[in-house]
Structure 1
Amino acid sequence: MAYQNLLSEVKENILYVTINREKALNALNKDTLAELADVIAFAAKTDEVRGVILTGAGEKAFVAGADIKEFSDYSGQQGQELAKHGHDLVFNAIENSPKPFIAAINGFALGGGLELAMACHMRIASDNAKLGLPEVTLGLIPGYGGTQRLTQLVGKGKAIEMITTASMITAVDAEKIGLVNYVVPQMDLISKAQEILNVIKQRAPLAVAAAIKSVVASLNETDGYVVEIEEFGKCFETEDFKEGVSAFVEKRRATFIGK
C-alpha cells in the first residue's frame, strides 16, 4: 500500500493509517479522500487486519478540515455529488466497516476532520485537541455526516449549539459530552488505542463485526432490533461460536479464527 498522502502499515493485526499532510494540517483534499477510500476497503477485506487506528501526522492536527480551495466555485449539484461521494466511499464506509476503527485525535479535528473522527467507532483525543464544526462561518453546513453523527453522539441541543455557533471545544469538554471516549496525554494517544484493540483482538472477529453492524443499525435502520436478531442467529453457525462455548466449558482461553 503505497500512497502519496497517507502512511499505512499493518503490525500485529492492527492497521495504522496516518494522514500525512502535516504542512496542510492534514486537510482532506480529493486525493487524500481517494486514498482513504482505498485503505478502508483494504481493511474490510483483509483477514489479517483486526482493527484500525486512524490519526494525523505531527502534533498540531488530526485533520483541520477539508481543502476549501478545491470546491470554492462548485454549483449546488456539484456540492451534492461531493458529499454523496465522500459519504459512500469514506465516511459511511468507515462506520459500516466490520473492523473497529479508532480515531486517535492528535490535535485540531475541525469540519471534515471531526466528521472523519465521528465516522470511526471510537475516538481518543490528546489533551491538546480541539474539536468543532465551523462550516457555517463559510456559509455551509457539515456535509460529511456531521449534522447526523454529532447529534447521535451528544444530543440535539448540544449538536445545534456546536454547529450554529461554529465554536471549538476542548478535548476535556468533548469527553464530558460523550464526543470522545478518552482524553490522554499526546504521548499516550496511540498506546491507548492499541490497548483497546489488543483487547478486541482476543474476541471472535465475526462476532465483533456482527456487534458493530447491529449497533450502527440502531441509529440508521428502521428497526435495529431486526438486524440484531439476524446477526445473533448467524453467530450460531460459526466455528468461533463452537470454540467459544468449548473454551467456556473447559475453563480455558478461546482461540478464535474468524470463521
Structure 2
Amino acid sequence: MGVSTARPDKGIALVTVDFPPVNALPAQGWFDLAEALRAAGRDPDNRCVVLAAEGRGFNAGVDIKEMQRDRGHSALIGANHGCYEAFSAVYDCEVPVVAAVGGFCLGGGIGLAGNADVIVASDDAVFGLPELDRGALGAATHLARLVPQHLMRALYYTSRTATAAELHAHGSVWKVVPRAELLTTALELAGEIARKDGYLIRLAKAAINGIDPVDVRRSYRFEQGFTFEANLSGVADRVRDTFGKDTAEEGAS
C-alpha cells in the first residue's frame, strides 16, 4: 500500500500507486507520489517514467473521508498542496511520463493524466471531474488538455465522464487496449522512448514544456483559490457531507 518505484527494464522507472479501495489519496499520499516522480526523473539512468496504479481504478482523487474528519482547514490545505505538488511533478519530470490508466480516472486522476506526456488506457477506463458533486473545484486546467474546450465545460458542469475510446478519438489517448494488456503496452511504449539518447530526451521534454500555451501550474493554482473560497463559504461542507450518504465510493480532487 502506498507509492512504490520499480525498474522493470533498462531506462524505465515504474511508479505505482496503491491506496485501496479506490486509490483516493490522503494528503501525504500526494506528497509521496510527487517525491517518487521527482526522484525517478532525477535519476540519470531513467529515460522514461510509467505511472500506473493497482486495484480497481487509476485514481479517484483525494480522500474525502480525511476531509470529513477534519472540521478545520488543515486537511483541505494539505490536499491542495499535495495535489499541486503531484501534478507539477508529473509535468516537470525531467523525462517523459507515460500514464497507464485503467478503470476510473477521476478528480485528481485527471490532474495526473492530463499532465502526463502520453496516456495509454484500458478499454474500461473513464475520465471525469465529479468536483461539483463533491464540494470542490479544480483540474479543469488538466481536463482541457484532454478534450476540446466546450466538451471540457460540459463534462465539468455535469460531472459526467468520457470513455477512453472518446479521448482516443480526440487524440489525447495514445492507445486503448484490454485491461490485461495495459501495463505491457505502456511499458512497450516507454521502452521505445527509453531507447533515445538520455540527454536529448531530457532536452526534448524541457523544450516541449517550454512551448506550452498554458502555464499549467499557475492555471491550476488559480482554480484552487476558488476551491478554498467554496470551503470558507460553507457550501463545500454542505455538498461534501451529502457525499457519504449518497455513495460508498470516495474521491475528488
Give yes or no for TM over 0.5. Answer: yes
CA distance in 1, matches of 2:93, 2:144: 21
User: Unaligned regions of 5+ residues in structure 1, if any?
Assistant: 223-259
Whether the aligned pair in 1 keeps the contact of 2:123 and 2:176 (CA below 8 Å) is yes
1:92-241 alignment runs, 5 A limit: 92-142=88-138, 146-219=139-212
CA distance in 1, matches of 2:164, 2:28: 29
User: Unaligned regions of 5+ residues in structure 2, if any?
Assistant: 216-253
SS at match of 1:194: helix
Q: 1:183 to 1:219 in 2, by over 3 A?
A: same
User: What is the match of residue 15 of structure 1?
Assistant: 13
Letter in 2 for 1:17: V
SS at match of 1:139: coil
1:30 aligns with 2:17: no
Structure 1, residues 124-152: CA drift from partner, whole Å, max 9, x if none? 1100111111001123212xxx2112223
1:67 aligns with 2:86: no
Whether the aligned pair in 2 keeps the contact of 1:104 and 1:193 (CA below 8 Å) is yes
User: What is the match of residue 47 of structure 2?
Assistant: 50
Whether the aligned pair in 2 keeps the contact of 1:27 and 1:113 (CA below 8 Å) is no
Letter in 2 for 1:99: V
CA distance in 2, matches of 1:157, 1:206: 38
RMSD of aligned Cα (Å): 2.2
SS at match of 1:6: strand
SS at match of 2:186: helix
Residue 57 of structure 1 deviates from its aligned partner by: 0.7
Q: TM-score of the superposition, structure 1-length normalised?
A: 0.75
CA distance in 1, matches of 2:74, 2:16: 31
Residue 183 of structure 1 deviates from its aligned partner by: 0.6
Structure 1, residues 23-77: CA drift from partner, whole Å, max 9, x if none? 321111123212212211211221122211111112x211122101223456679
Whether the aligned pair in 2 keeps the contact of 1:27 and 1:66 (CA below 8 Å) is yes
Whether the aligned pair in 2 keeps the contact of 1:28 and 1:113 (CA below 8 Å) is no
CA distance in 1, matches of 2:180, 2:67: 35
Q: 1:162 to 1:115 in 2, by over 3 A?
A: same
SS at match of 2:119: strand
Structure 1, residues 201-240: CA drift from partner, whole Å, max 9, x if none? 2212222112222222222578xxxxxxxxxxxxxxxxxx
1:39 aligns with 2:36: yes
How many residues are paired up? 213
SS at match of 1:153: coil
Whether the aligned pair in 1 keeps the contact of 2:50 and 2:99 (CA below 8 Å) is yes
Letter in 1 for 2:17: I
CA distance in 1, matches of 2:113, 2:181: 18
Whether the aligned pair in 2 keeps the contact of 1:19 and 1:55 (CA below 8 Å) is yes
1:86 aligns with 2:65: no
Residue 85 of structure 1 deviates from its aligned partner by: 4.4
CA distance in 1, matches of 2:75, 2:54: 30
Q: TM-score of the superposition, structure 2-length normalised?
A: 0.76
Letter in 1 for 2:5: S
